[in-house]
Amino acid sequence: MVSQIFINLPVADLRASIAFFTRLGFTFNPEFTDDTATCMIVGDNIFVMLLTRERFAEFTPLALSDAHTVTEVLVALRLHSREAVDVMVREAVAAGGSIYNDSQDHGFMYSHGFQDPDGHIWEVMYMTGAPGGTA
């Protein structure tokens, strides 16, 4: 079974990305941070590596996508309440992100989302129950 997940995302301005996500309440592991990359702590075993586009390009032979024009991934985060979802989206917009879609209420799940300054889509949701049937 997988013990940790690391999502890698290219960013245009690493310092600006750190400031953006810090404002949303995320912290960073200084042991895995330099001028080209940082390790954002999302959960106990969930991390997002924000890498400069140049550093990211070292890990793939393929061209990098521009998340402002194409969608490669949707990062979804489960929060503890509907209010927490709305607060994070408002804070993301205030920090320089943008809203790309209206909020959605499906009864068992409330979701909204934002695009970070690099165009990556972050879905934030509150859900009753949990995948697999456990709370």
Residues 51 and 85 in one domain: no
Residue 134: pLDDT band (50, 70, 90) is very low
Taking every pair of Cα atoms in the chain, the longest distance, rounded to a whole number of angstroms, is 44
Task: Give the count of domains, the chain.
Answer: 2
Q: Are residues 48 and 80 in the same domain?
A: no
Instruction: Give the pLDDT mean for 4-25.
Output: 97
In the numeric block, which tokens belong to residue 14?
Answer: 């690493």
> How sure is the predictor about 130, in pLDDT bands with cuts at 50, 70 and 90?
low
Residues 88 and 41 in one domain: no
Confidence of residue 23 (pLDDT cuts 50, 70, 90): very high
Q: Are residues 49 and 84 in the same domain?
A: no
How high is the mean pLDDT of the chain?
94
Assess whether pLDDT exceeds 80 at residue 109: yes
Instruction: For residues 57-67, give the mean pLDDT.
Output: 95
Give residue 52's domain range. Answer: 1-59
CA 129 to chain centre: 22
Q: Is residue 65 part of a domain?
A: no
Question: Residue 37 — very low, low, confident or very high, per pLDDT cuts 50/70/90?
Answer: very high
pLDDT at 67 over 90: yes
Residues 1 and 32 in one domain: yes
Backbone angles phi, psi at 22, to 5 degrees: -60, -40
